[in-house]
A = this chain, B = another copy of it.
Amino acid sequence: MSGDIKTRIEEANKEFLRRMIAGDPVLVDVAPAGDVIPDFPDRTILHSGPPVTWQSMSGAQRGACIGMVLFEGWAESPEQAITLLESGEIRFDPNHHHQAVGPMAGTITPSMWVWVVENKAFGNRAFCRQVEGRQQFGEYTPEALEALEKWRDVLAPALQKAIRSMGGMPLKPIITKALQMGDELHNRPVAASSLFANALSIPLLTSGLPQGQIAATFGLLGGHELLFLGLSMAAGKAIADPARGIEFSTGVTAMARNGTEFGIQVSGLDGEWFTAQAPEVKGLFLPGYKLGDEGRDIGDSAITETVGWGGFVLGGAAGILSFVGGTPDEALAYSRQMRLITIGQSPDYLIPALGFEGTALGIDIRKVVKTGIPPIIDTAMAHKEPGHPIIGAGLVRPPMECFVKALSRFGERYKLA
């Protein structure tokens, strides 16, 4: 590689980092996906990860799609839903192609209310669906769907009214504070969820909504420790998107999995996916599930690692180890190791357990390939078959193949010797 090219890459990555650091995510709305996601295509299910077909879909994502077809009323029974999904009449499209992200199967349809986060530094918007523990994992029982209906009919409209009355809620202050309270904002957003709930107490109280609706919403906010994950994912997407399309940048703008394939996207190669078979997650199982039940890695939630949270800040989130396994020293080592594969460190998102040093930020495909160190991601586990709720959580590394393919393509694209 000539010195000139190397300088262009360094300059591009400096710009990549500048944009990531400048990100200023503000929650501006909660609304039906069909109303806010631009040009939402008809009869389409948006899903996590790179593109996928019904035939190649993982069990959890199939189950989640059955759930969404029923939720939208496109079919009246799981059997009808499966027939419809097999017929090819329902289109599938990655969330990432629509400024969106979704947890686990990640399924978003027009009636699903989503968080709307605007990056005030750049004006772009990002969307993420609400996090719950059942349908997004592939369960499609009436109970799993009732929870989605309650979200649509009771909780999300109340949150919409409260958030609009506030004129939006800046998320950066909550995220910086939560990182000092043992959150890593992916599997463990417990502090952020609690702080978010408190920030909404007065706006909800004074919303003018019926007391029963407010109480139900307080019940969600006060009792759902993973609630903020939908917001940290939307914030991550809002922060990452402006860093797309920088010529010569080797920075990663997305890591996403659909349970079949793991895919990454790279700033200087915008629009392309570099994929490999999704890896298996190593972790701990919830009661009733065991090794061998789990499907392959799934979800857009690795957008949190893409912007330096999640597995990258495990060293400051020792509380999560009871959920994903490992020791405090290993957790600190992960956070330090990620500096070897990133462009820089955040000046704003700090880890107290590392002496208030900034999070490792901006995954560089060159450094991943050169060091042989893939990013560390902590994640939940879905079942390999459709029809189950969450079954566990653990740690996972993306396949090296994604980064090698991307770097090879980068060499072709920019004519590197």
Contacts and interface: CB of A to CB of B under 8 A. Distances in A.
Interface of A: 177, 180-183, 190-191, 194-195, 197-199, 201-202, 205-206, 211, 214-215, 218-219, 221-222, 316, 318-319, 321-322, 327-328, 352-356
A340 to B, nearest CB: 20
A328 B321 CA distance: 18
B319 A181 contact: yes
Contact of A322 (B181, B205, B352): B352
Most chain B CB neighbours (cut-off 10 Å) among A194, A328, A352: A194
A-B pairs, 9 with minimum CB distance: A318-B352, A180-B319, A198-B222, A194-B194, A201-B218, A319-B352, A318-B353, A182-B182, A181-B182
Contacts of A195: 194
Contacts of A190: 177, 181
Nearest to A216: B202
A231 to B, nearest CB: 16
A183 to B, nearest CB: 8
A328 B332 CA distance: 11
Number of copies: 2
B191 A218 contact: no
A197 B201 contact: yes
Which residue of A202, A219, A316, A354 has the most chain B CB atoms within 10 A of its CB atom? A202
A205 B218 contact: yes
A211 B219 contact: no
A205 B203 CA distance: 12
A352 B197 CA distance: 24
A217 to B, nearest CB: 9
A22 to B, nearest CB: 24
B194 A221 contact: no
Nearest to A223: B198
B211 A205 contact: yes
Contacts of A354: 328
A198 B191 CA distance: 11
Contacts of A205: 205, 211, 214-215, 218
A356 to B, nearest CB: 6
Contacts of A316: 318
Contacts of A218: 198, 201-202, 205
A211 B207 CA distance: 11
A353 B316 CA distance: 9
Contact of A181 (B181, B201, B321, B355): B181
Contact of A198 (B180, B198, B211): B198
B221 A198 contact: yes
Contacts of A182: 180-182, 191, 352
A19 to B, nearest CB: 28
A334 to B, nearest CB: 14
A218 B198 CA distance: 8
Contacts of A353: 318, 328, 353
A318 B357 CA distance: 12
A219 to B, nearest CB: 7
A248 B146 CA distance: 61
